[in-house]
Structure formats: C-alpha cells, structure tokens
Amino acid sequence: MSEARELDLPIPPEAARQRADRFVADRSGLSRSFVQRLISEGHLTMGGLIVRASSTLVAGQTLHLVIPPVSETTVLAEDIPLTVVYEDEDIVVVNKPAGLVVHPAPGHATGTLVNALLHHVEDLPGIAGVARPGLVHRLDKDTSGLLIVAKGDVAQLSLMAQLKARRIKKTYLALVQGSVAAELGRIEAPIGRDPNERKRMAVVAGGREATTGYRVRERFPGWTLLEVDLITGRTHQIRVHLTEIGHPIAGDPTYGNGTSRRGPDATTRLFLHAWKIVFAHPRDGRLMRLEAELPADLQAPLDALRLHSSRGSFLPVSIHHPCNTW
C-alpha cells in the first residue's frame, strides 16, 4: 500500500465563490467524483476546519487535501500474455486479441484484460484511490486492436475529456459483405436497444446519437474492406451501422445474414479490428499516432480473397483517400 499524499491548494481571487469540489478537482487533476468522495470522508480542510463539497471559497485562504494511500484492488493479477504497443509512466496502449474480455464482470471474474494489466503494470498510481488501471474506452470481446489505458487519475481525466470532446480518433478495419457504392461516406443514425431482441442493438427512433465515417480501402468480388472512423462510441455501433446500410461485417454472428456470418474463405471470427488511434498525450500534449497491424486470423481471409481474385477475372483494387470523414 502506498503512502498518503497531501496537497495545499491556495485560493486565487478568480476562484472566489466557486464550489470547493469543482475547484479541487480542477487544481488537483483528480476526478470530481473521487474528490467528492474524499470530501465526504473529511479529507478536505481549511484552517483546520472540515470543508463541504458545496462550500463556496474565499480568496486568500488555502485548502488542505489529504489523499489516503491507494488501496489494493480485489481483482486478481494474472499472467496473461499482452502485446504492448506503447507504454510510459502515464499510459499503456495494448493490442487486445479477439476473445479477451476487457473488464471483469459476472461470468468473467478472471481471464480479462484488466487481470492481465494488473500483472503487467507495476506500481500503479491508481484510479479513484484503488490500485487498478483506468479503462478509457472498451472493445467488444470479439474485436481485436488498440486500447488506451490510464495508469493514474490525471491521465484518465485528460483522456476522458478528449474522448468526450471527440478528440481521440479511432479507426477500424472492417470487411463487409457486398460492394459499397460510395468511396467514402458518413452514417448518422440513432442507436438503442432492439425492441424485439433486448440483447441486440439497433437503429431506433429516440436512440442515442451515433455517427460513423468510412472509406473504401480495397474491393473484392462480393466484399469490401473499409477503414471506419468511430466518431461516437455507442454499443456495437460499427456493426449496427454497417448492417443498417446493407453491408454487415464478415463473421458477425449477431448482426449478419447467412452469407456475411460465414464470411469469405478462412473467416473464423468477426472481421473488425481497431487499427489506428490518434490522441494527445495526457502529460505534455504531444500527438500520439499508433497502429496495430491486422492479426493473422484476419489477414487469412484477405489473402484468400486476393488469391481468388487473381485467379479470376477480377483484381482487387486498393484505394487511398487523402481526406477523412471527420
């Protein structure tokens, strides 16, 4: 267990009459919910007196915040192989394999990405007072590719703010059924629970706003390889949107039809891979551009399509666009 930390936060004139919890969160880099928890436990004082979250501040005074030692997480660390694409003191970016659940949940208490990260990352600063990695975003179990993980509160707060402002660009590779007519496009359709099957998502009136951009990367007879920009981040968004426009993803057992579920030769799972991610580093703001090549199990159906095309009258066409749909 780490040692307690103490912060002295002088109150400048421009902060006068602000709420205590908002001021402390802004100045400390801690999440507001964590600050509110610390305040409720009596860890924020001014002149020796306990300060409430809703207290208004007086310029010239100094707040004193005690951050208790980081407690141990109840999640078990497990020696699960991880492919780390980038790591420093603030963040770790991993290339998640398909089949790995991201976070422990009922039915998946062990064998998850979080279990693996707890084994891999030593001396976690902790998130909200607990020694655990901070998941900034998630990938479905059957989707492979890049995931950013924050090691501490400050990094997570910065990355979550970027995510909310849509400043983290996430680009996927998806092989879809059929010939997509437009070379690039944008899908704007609200997503919510499928009223006829609650375990599925669907485009529904009154659903949450959802936007997906795409560009054609390569064409094959009967199939199209797309670069897909996830502009919002709804559950199963890419799968739902591409199905909605008549081009379900190869190997998708939930949203596909008979042909797309089977996929082309050598398809063994959902052809969806988080290929590229661009964001500002939470500590110094430098632009991070990271990529993860297609894994072998997704490269195989592409190779089969290219081989089939070269033997027939069709040749695959690779298309690169200088612009994007953002």
Q: Measured between alpha carbons, how far apart are the two ends of the chain, in Å? A: 44
Predicted confidence (pLDDT) at residue 316 exceeds the cutoff of 60: no
Q: 84-162 and 169-318: same fold? A: yes
Write down the catalytic residue from 140, 153, 229, 252: 140
Task: State how far the Cα of 223 lies from the Cα of 248, in Å rounded to an integer.
Answer: 10
5-67 folds as: 3.10.290
CA 85 to mean position of chain CA atoms: 15
pTM: 0.76
Could you tell me which residues come within 8 angstroms of residue 273 by beta carbon, excluding any fewer than 6 positions away?
143, 144, 145, 172, 173, 174, 292, 294, 295, 298
* Active-site residue flag, 140: yes
Q: Which residue has the tokens 């690039």?
A: 184
- CATH 3.30.2350.10 applies to domain 84-162: yes
What pLDDT digit, counting tens, does each position of 19-53 carry? 999 898 888 777 787 788 889 888 899 988 899 99
- Rounded to the nearest 10 degrees, what angle do helices 32-40 and 20-28 cross at? 120
- The residues spanned by each domain of the chain are 5-67, 84-162, 169-318
Tell me which H or E stretch contains 273: strand 272-280
* Residue of 103, 110, 106, 111 lying closest to 147 (CA atoms): 103
- CATH 3.30.2350.10 applies to domain 169-318: yes
Residue 2 banded pLDDT, cuts 50, 70, 90 = low
Residues belonging to the chain: 326
What pLDDT digit, counting tens, does each position of 155-188 carry? 888 898 898 889 999 999 999 999 999 999 999 9
Helix (H, G, I), strand (E, B) or coil at 108: strand
Tokens of 199: 């375990």
Task: State how far the Cα of 246 lies from the Cα of 180, in Å rounded to an integer.
Answer: 9
Q: How many CA atoms lie within 13 A of 11 on its CB side?
A: 24
pLDDT at residue 3 in the model: 65
